[in-house]
Structure 1
Amino acid sequence: MAKTSKKTSADVGVDLGMADKQRKAIAEGLSVLLADTYTLYLKTHNFHWNVTGPQFNSLHLMFEGQYTALALAVDEIAERIRALAEPAPGSYSAYARLSTIKEADGLPPAEEMVRILADDQLAVVRTARAIFPLADEAGDEPTADLLTQRMQVHEKTAWMLRANLPV
């Protein structure tokens, strides 16, 4: 999980109505979610740039919509970590260490790009779902709401990606 650095003056004495241990555990889980989301953003953007083949136009546009949504999600997740008075990871090395999503090897064919992204969307769902019990136990409704929204988006996106694959 994420290592926290020195607190800022804005973080000292923050009482959110949950134990520090709970708050830190939630922030650590959200740091993994942030890393997964950023890694998926980068991979989706890469596939958007490099997709080829008969489905080029539809996949190019679909990937663009997905990476745009992921860029907004990255900010939302990072800001929730900060609201919990913990530092949000923001480097490639931190994301590489934290993320459950792996980089793509080279540039796969379009159909494989779709399959990879669908699997990665579900990986983000699993990461979010793993944090949910921590938020629930702490009575952290804002984090639970964020996680619910992220799971809904990623489950729907995975379904839409899978719908592009042959049966």
Structure 2
Amino acid sequence: MADINPALNTPTDLSNTRSVADALNSSLADCYALYLKTKNFHWHVSGPHFRDYHLLLDDQAAQILGVTDAIAERVRKTGNTTLRSIGDISRRQTIADNDLDFVDAGAMLAELREDNLKLVESFRVVKDAAEEAKDNATSGIVDEWTDQAEERAWFLFEASRKG
């Protein structure tokens, strides 16, 4: 094994994984920010399509939360450490919070669509870092996370179309 982090004693043959871990942790912070925003909108959506949007946002929030553990575990498998607190998330997130008292349902869908596309960009940074570090596992699994975020953006786009 070429590189074992002495503090964590994590067995890995990868080296130079710090950039991969940094990119993964940034994506993880964005996932948590997007998860909470999606749940916020799920709790506060109103209007004629309430049921459809309420269920859509709950499904999407569950999917986003589901990927967080995989991201954090990937960071640890590379011999690095991951997020530790809400403060750590807030320092790293690039997806903005939304603390408004009221957001129109259409604006909710549009904002979440853009946030999911921003998460796709974040995952592309992970992909580039993983390929540079020859981290095949991260490079492969991030494709699935990217596809899920693109699908969420597409669903949000289609749900918001006026027809």
Output the TM-score relative to the length of structure 1: 0.88
Residue of structure 1 in register with 2:69 after alignment: 75
Give how far 1:164 is off.
1.6
2:143 maps to 1:148: yes
Aligned counterparts of 2:108 and 2:160: Cα–Cα separation in 1: 10
Residue 40 of structure 1: which of 11, 15, 34 is its match?
Answer: 34
State the one-letter code of the partner of 2:127: F
Residue 123 of structure 1: which of 107, 111, 118 is its match?
Answer: 118
Residue of structure 1 in register with 2:108 after alignment: 113
Once the two structures are aligned, what percentage of the paired residues are identical? 31
Aligned counterparts of 2:63 and 2:128: Cα–Cα separation in 1: 25
Output the TM-score relative to the length of structure 2: 0.90
Give how far 1:15 is off.
4.9
Per-residue displacement from partner, 1:73-119 (whole Å, max 9, x unpaired)? 11111111111121110311111110110001413110000000000
Which range moved further: 91-100 or 111-120? Answer: 91-100
2:41 maps to 1:60: no
Residue 13 of structure 2: which of 17, 20, 39 is its match?
Answer: 17
2:97 maps to 1:103: yes
State the one-letter code of the partner of 2:93: S
Query: Which stretches in structure 2 are left out of the alignment for 5+ residues?
Result: none
Q: SS at 2:160's partner residue?
A: coil
Residue 80 of structure 2: which of 80, 86, 97 is its match?
Answer: 86
Q: SS at 1:163's partner residue?
A: helix
Runs of 4+ in 1 over 4 A off after TM superposition: none
What is the RMSD of the two structures over their aligned residues, measured on CA atoms?
1.5
Aligned counterparts of 1:48 and 1:41: Cα–Cα separation in 2: 10
State the one-letter code of the partner of 1:152: D
Number of residue equivalences: 157
Aligned counterparts of 2:64 and 2:152: Cα–Cα separation in 1: 11
Give how far 1:8 is off.
7.9
